[in-house]
Amino acid sequence: MAHVKFDHVSKSYPGGHQALSELSFEVARGELAFLTGHSGAGKSTLLKLIMLMEKATRGQVLVDGVNLSRLAPRQIPFHRRRIGVVFQNHQLLFDRSVFENVALPLRISGYSSRDLERRVRAALDKVGLLSKEKLNPIELSGGEQQRVGIARAVVNKPSLILADEPTGNLDPKLSLEIMRLFEQFNDVGVSVLVATHDVQLISRLKHRVLALGDGRLLGERPSQVETTHV
Amino acid sequence: MSKPNRSGAQQSKITAQSQWQSYLSHHKLMAVDSLSRLLSQMGSSLMTWLVLAIALALPMTLYVSLENVKQLSRTWDQTSQMSVYLTTGTSETEAQALTKTIAQWPDVTSSQYISPEQALKEFSATTGLTDVIAGLDANPLPGVISVLPRLGNEDTGALEQLEAKLLEQSSVESVQLDLLWVKRLYQFMDLGQRLVWALAALLGLAVLLIIGNTIRLSIESRKDEIRVVKLVGGTDAFVRRPFLYTGIWFGLGGGLIAWLLLTAGLYWLSGPVERLISLYGSDFVLLGLGAKDSLLLILDGVILGWLGAWLAVSRHLSDIEP
């Protein structure tokens, strides 16, 4: 079953702006795909539809086979808990430590404190920031802040990770590091969908690419990754 | 598919028990966190607490005053005793018999016969006009039955009925009763009671608005946090929780300060009031706030605080969507 499926999805905003029109594609379970296109192509809108931050005007969005338009408002939080999101502006909270930022999804899901500590440390260890758990995120560099955002996205062990321009403000070396992190999560079976306009970076990686333009699928480059990973 | 042997990462399982424990611990965490937030902005929090305290204390002050007047009026019930004047020439035995009959009426607490001789003696004793009285040819005073009505409720109609019944008795000349005074007192107390309720309702509304507005500002200042919490799957209840606790803390603080203000005020007044009352030879004691009233005052604060926060949160939280 496809992990994410768009079936003739259109999204128009009040005022008439057509962000997506008749978009259809699938992301398989355990797949890593890039979503590319110039700004305004509809990348962010697409991710927002998956997160139910927006609702499709026409067509159907299915996640794990669940039609999102049939989800009751009170089920939305539980839908979001199954997805990890990473933002360009990382959306960290500067009134609490790195640890508490990463712990937030676990507190929401209701983990016991011992379990919570173990998981937060594991996530921070994964992004290489275990030593900075007590710092305020404002003391970290841009790349580190983004990694805290990633730790927060994966701490709940989601089966799907969405990233919206996760390397937006980072230099090429840091950007590649971030992408490598996503590849590592993908290696353990997590489906990953990354929206980015960094074409150079994408071309260095061999994953599937979906190219958006004016809310339509312009083209697609299939994955060139060998089917047997180590 | 490039990796057909994978079925995706397993979503971690959370047992119901750990969920319940963490629900409780989140409550605890939010209670502590919201209190420490209030305490970290002591200046503005204290202002809010004081405003709430004054709004809560005002109706309670009126209520306590009213309770004291009620208590005072209970000791004044004796003044609503009726003097039943008998026609001249009523014999001693007739008067005694009538006194006994009246005493057995259900709306009478007690009745006492005062003979003309006895009345004259008392009169001369209290007025000091012994010489003048000694010079009188005959006793000018009639026999009097002093009747103490049973004042169960604050109904003056019962007194009037009793008066009419007494007048129906033969050998009763007239009945005197300071009915108007009693009536007025009860009217005033009735008015006071309503005033307390109206004031309590108005100031309760004020408390709601003050807390609602404070919570609205607090929501405004934590917009980013709310957005992130909603984005990573926080339910509405989760988002609401810290603000509801903030409201409860505001209400509890306001209630406690109101209680302190009232207790201190009553203590301050009790000395002069007791001295004043003792001049009238009454055993009146200034009623303080009982345990029940104190609890009610503080609980009112807490409930209003929670309710105000709830109103603000349900109005403004839906505006903040990721």
CA distance to partner chain A, nearest, from residue B44 (Å) = 19
Helix (H, G, I), strand (E, B) or coil at A119: helix
**Residues with Cβ < 8 Å from A58, sequence gap 6 or more?**
A8, A9, A10
Domain architecture of chain A: domains with CATH: 1-19+27-82+160-230 (3.40.50.300), 92-157 (no CATH)
SS3 string, chain B, reads CCCCCCCCCCCCCCCHHHHHHHHHHHHHHHHHHHHHHHHHCHHHHHHHHHHHHHHHHHHHHHHHHHHHHHHHHHHCHHHHCEEEEECCCCCHHHHHHHHHHHHCCCCEEEEEEECHHHHHHHHHHHHCCHHHHHCCCCCCCCCEEEEEECCCCCCHHHHHHHHHHHHHCCCEEEEECCHHHHHHHHHHHHHHHHHHHHHHHHHHHHHHHHHHHHHHHHHHHCHHHHHHHHHCCCCHHHHHHHHHHHHHHHHHHHHHHHHHHHHHHHHHHHHHHHHHHHHCCCCCCCCCCCHHHHHHHHHHHHHHHHHHHHHHHHHHHHHCCC
pLDDT at A229: 47
Segment B70-94, tens digit of pLDDT: 777 766 655 567 788 888 878 888 8
Q: How many beta-carbon pairs below 8 A join chains A and B?
A: 109
* Lowest model confidence (mean pLDDT) among A90-99, A128-137, B60-69, B244-253: B60-69
Q: Which residues of B touch A81 (CB under 8 A)?
A: 232-233
Instruction: Evaluate if residue B8 carries a pLDDT over 70.
Output: no
Dihedral sign computed on CA atoms, order B210, B215, B216, B218: positive
Asked whether the predicted pLDDT for residue B4 surpasses 60, the reply is no
Does this model's pTM top 0.80? My answer is: no
* C-alpha distance from B41 to closest chain A C-alpha (Å): 15
Residues of A in contact with B322 (CB under 8 A): 51, 53
Q: Which residues of B touch A112 (CB under 8 A)?
A: 18, 21-22, 25
Structure confidence at residue B175 (pLDDT): 84
**Among A124-138, B5-19, B235-249, which is the least confidently predicted range?**
B5-19
pLDDT at B188: 83
Q: Residue B251 pLDDT more than 90?
A: yes
The residue type of A186 is N
Domains and CATH numbers, chain B: 22-74+185-319 (no CATH), 88-170 (3.30.70)
What radius of gyration, in Å, describes the C-alpha atoms of chain B? 34
Q: Which of A51, A53, A112 sits opposite B22 (nearest CB)?
A: A112
Residue A202: its pLDDT value, please?
A: 86
Answer yes or no: is pLDDT of B146 > 60.
yes
Tell me: ipTM over 0.90: no
B318 contact A CB<8A: no
B166-172 mean pLDDT: 84
B75-85 CB burial, b ≥16 within 10 A, e <16: eeeeebbbebb
- Return the pLDDT at B62: 86
Residue carrying structure tokens 């007044």: B269
Q: Tell me, what's the pLDDT at A153?
A: 93
Considering only the beta carbons, identify the residue of B21, B224, B238 that sits closest to A108: B238
pLDDT at A203: 85
Q: How far is A131 from chain B (nearest CA, A)?
A: 24
Return the pLDDT at A217: 85
Residue B238: list chain A partners with CB under 8 A: 77, 108
Q: Is the pLDDT of residue B167 over 80?
A: yes
pLDDT (mean) for B294-318: 91
Q: Is B40 on the interface with A (CB under 8 A)?
A: no
Spatial separation of the C-alpha atoms in residues A149 and A126, rounded to whole Å: 12
Q: Do B14 and A80 touch (CB under 8 A)?
A: no
Secondary structure class of A141 (helix, strand, coil): coil
- Which among A200, A167, A155, A170 is positioned nearest to A88, based on CA atoms? A167
Q: Quick: pLDDT tens for B255-284.
A: 999 999 999 988 888 888 878 777 766 666
- Tell me the average pLDDT of chain B: 82
Cβ contact (<8 Å) for A112 and B21? Answer: yes
Neighbours of B122 (CB within 10 A): 12
Are residues A3 and B23, on separate chains, in Cβ contact within 8 Å?
A: no
Is the CB of B3 less than 8 angstroms away from the CB of A191?
A: no
Instruction: Please indicate if any CB of chain A lies within 8 Å of the CB of B25.
Output: yes
At residue B162 the predicted structure's pLDDT band, cuts being 50, 70 and 90, is confident
Mutation site, A76, A87, A109, A155, interface B, largest B CB count within 10 A: A109
Q: What pLDDT is recorded for position B51?
A: 93
Burial A20-41 (b: 16+ CB within 10 A, else e): bbebebebbbbbbbbbbbeeeb
Q: Report pLDDT for A16.
A: 79
B76 token code pair:
């004044």
Report the distance separating Cα B274 and Cα B283, nearest Å.
9
Query: In this predicted structure, what is the pLDDT of residue B112?
Result: 86
From residue B69, alpha-carbon distances to B74, B185, B265, B287 in Å are 9, 9, 17, 10
Best A111, A119, A126 member to test B by mutation, with max B CBs in 10 Å, is A111
**In what side-by-side order are the strands of the sheet with B82-86?**
B108-114, B144-149, B82-86, B172-176
Q: Do B19 and A110 touch (CB under 8 A)?
A: yes
| Lowest pLDDT segment from A16-20, B157-161, B247-251 | B157-161
Nearest CA in chain A to B8: A189
CA distance A45 to chain B (A): 13
Which residues in chain A show pLDDT less than 70? 226-230
> Half-sphere exposure of residue B147, counting CA atoms within 13 Å on the CB side?
35
Q: Are A3 and A200 in contact (CB under 8 A)?
A: no
Report long-range pairs for A147-151 (Cβ below 8 Å, ≥24 apart). Answer: A147/A178, A147/A181, A148/A90, A148/A92, A148/A98, A148/A101, A148/A102, A148/A124, A149/A86, A149/A87, A149/A90, A149/A91, A149/A92, A150/A86, A150/A178, A150/A181, A150/A182, A151/A102, A151/A120, A151/A123, A151/A124, A151/A126, A151/A127
Q: Within an 8 Å CB–CB cutoff, is residue B221 touching chain A? A: no
Interchain contact, A189 vs B14, CB within 8 Å: no
CB contact under 8 Å between B231 and A107, yes or no, is: no
